[in-house]
Structure 1
């Protein structure tokens, strides 16, 4: 372990995602801030972009082709916005974790004891005809360009806030579309510089992040689309409630260049709307 004010850890594992997975894996470390990998995922990341051939790689990736609620999807202002299901960010608070790169862009995992998510930042999902559910924010990661398209247009980037229930099962994703603008984004201003490059296996430890800054920058998530969807990477597991903000988070040109400069193309092709129950 090297010390450069913060700690960089050099022992790594491959970047993976799965049904039991809270966020894309960083290099290994001594903090229990992620869940175990399912054995079927293997020891290597065997997929890449573009995404058309994922089902051909493994039988476990079949949902990527035949799933009925696959993400991302195309969204439109003509669809209107959700009025029945609402995320309430009542416990989005500052918390410490580690910054890394998931081989395609910047990512962050919050620290928590193994199997205990109760101390993490959290939100409540409220909706007509459904039980209120509290879900816990395990981390976030970046995609460039955005995965969701609005009226056929992609933004420069998209950030996914991944939430689990008390059992550690992934339940919801908060999507934030990001575009270069004029002024610095307060959310991205809190990240240490330089950002970690996509081929760099280091992590930066003990970073305190305020996730609510991102929510505030999209007008407190007042208007959004929601639908039943999936992970956007293999094995494309379904069962997630997706939220995508109508309002865009703007960065400065310099910040966007930094974000794009440490990432690679990571947008899955748009999936056909099927049993997604958009805004239902």
Structure 2
């Protein structure tokens, strides 16, 4: 299958986690992929790996919190591959774990918002400018179920993801005139390095125990018992990137095993049809 043959894609935060899964899936579908990240070692290695497998990718160091670098990223994609059809605004960071809201000093607020929200807004704007002059395209923003469901902890992160969801809907309305579709994926319960990055230095020794507890809570809250993967999110992103979603814009798609649908009902094991 080569659903993206002839298309050009940018994936921010593409060196690891969900971004890596999306970059790999899109490259396998025939797209020219510009992988953007600040982890140069991982990004360059991924590009080399995908190209060895027959892909067409390049890596570019990009801090999405810097608007000039985001604009240069779009220019680089056009220069390298001849256009831009799909923009995946995936780059994001977590805010530090603290022992409740009263212990929050909010020192990381500006950094979290700059990367998570400003990066998405600038990426949408700059990719949209090019797409508006070249027949349209698809913009895919990565939110989180943390932006849909309220919960304690990492409050700046949750706020940034909620803002991404609302911004996506606003941008979808404004850019529809140019045949640009803007949609949001809201992953949940996907094992990625971002949870580990939320630990402060004093929590580092307890991180392994904490993460195991959080992951178990996620499993308990998830109706589908299969563990989610970055590849699952990539499949959803592929849908938004292709003409299969040509009449879909302004939507938020949770990729979370049913977590935001509601609480799991625990009942005794019974045969199908038994009450």
Normalization by structure 2: what TM-score? Answer: 0.25
Indicate the structure (1 or 2) with the bigger Cα radius of gyration. Answer: 2
Higher helix share goes to which structure?
Answer: 2
Taking structure 1 as the reference length, the TM-score comes to: 0.25
RCO higher in structure (CA 8 A, sep ≥6): 1
